[in-house]
Copies of this chain bind each other. A is one copy, B any other.
Amino acid sequence: MRTEVRYYQQPELDKPVMVCGLPGIGSVAWLAVNHLQKELKAELFADVYSPTFSPKVWLSEEGVVKLMKGEFHFWKNNDGGADLLLFTANEQPYSPEGQYELAEVVLDLAQKFGTSRVITMGGMATDRFTEEPKVYGGGTSEDLVKELESFGAVKLAGGAITGTNGLIFGLAKPKKIPAICLLAETPGYLSLDANAAKAALQLSSKMLKMSIDLTALDKQAKENAEAVQKAKDLSRGSFVRESRKGGGGELPYVS
């Protein structure tokens, strides 16, 4: 068994932008891409299964089995803007080699559909909560970084990005696909930081000249803010647990 994409349909897309969000710190990227998918009613067109995911399956509330997998959705933009390809998965591959392999498979699909730009996202842990998280941005070229700065991003100068989100971003470069990575500030202790996801999406939508309704993320963001406030009131100890509970506990399956 190899990491393999199975297609349900072959959408016709016009130089789409691919937005990638795998689980990671604060689930920022994962939340952002799932929000996009639901808000835009993007259509599932391919799955990716891999022996480099954890050797386990999930059961739905109805008792139906679900595999560890990645999913590709597409969205046709009828307003003249860019079509979208969305990629997410319910976890990152288990091994370093698996993370490289998945990144390659995702970028091969991006190339196949003539992707004009790849956007990956993530969280940047800051250890403090803010209602207005900054968004840091890096690119495969200085021009892209300047473009990001013009939309309000802070230049991501120096440092390393680990994991599959970073590899999809980086490996786009030798494949000559322009790519950017957006890291939204997130306190390390939130498991589902909707506020950070919102910040990353706001910047992305400006860049894509799209208007995306973000209200569905507000509910989660508000819960997080309340949990943090409550923790401050109570001060220490019970905080992390509260926050995790507020954040929704286990990362739900991609659906």
Contact = CB atoms under 8 A, between A and B. Distances in A.
Interface of A: 1, 6, 47, 49, 51-67, 94-97, 99-101, 103-104, 137-142, 145, 148, 155-164, 166-167, 169-171, 173-174, 179, 181
Given A56-B161, A57-B160, A59-B160, A145 B64 contact: yes
Chain A interface SS verdict (over half): mixed
A167 to B, nearest CB: 6
A248 to B, nearest CB: 14
Given A59-B156, A96-B51, A170 B67 contact: yes
A158 B57 contact: no
A54 B161 CA distance: 11
Contact of A55 (B1, B47, B164): B164
Contact of A167 (B57, B101, B171): B57
A156 B55 contact: no
Contacts of A174: 6, 47, 49, 67
B55 A100 contact: yes
Among A57, A94, A156, A174, max chain B CB count under 10 A is at: A57
Contacts of A179: 65
**Oligomeric state, in copies:** 4
A164 B160 CA distance: 23
Given A64-B145, A138-B63, A140-B65, A166 B100 contact: no
Given A62-B142, A63-B157, A96 B54 contact: yes
B158 A65 contact: no
Which of A59, A156, A173, A179 has the most B CB atoms < 10 Å from its CB?
Answer: A59
Return the 7 tightest CB-CB contacts between A and B, nearest first. Answer: A51-B100, A57-B170, A63-B145, A55-B99, A56-B162, A1-B104, A55-B96
Contacts of A59: 138, 156-161
B145 A55 contact: no
A65 B169 contact: yes
A158 B67 contact: no
Contacts of A139: 63-65
A24 to B, nearest CB: 12
7 contacts: A49-B174, A51-B100, A51-B101, A59-B160, A65-B139, A65-B173, A67-B170
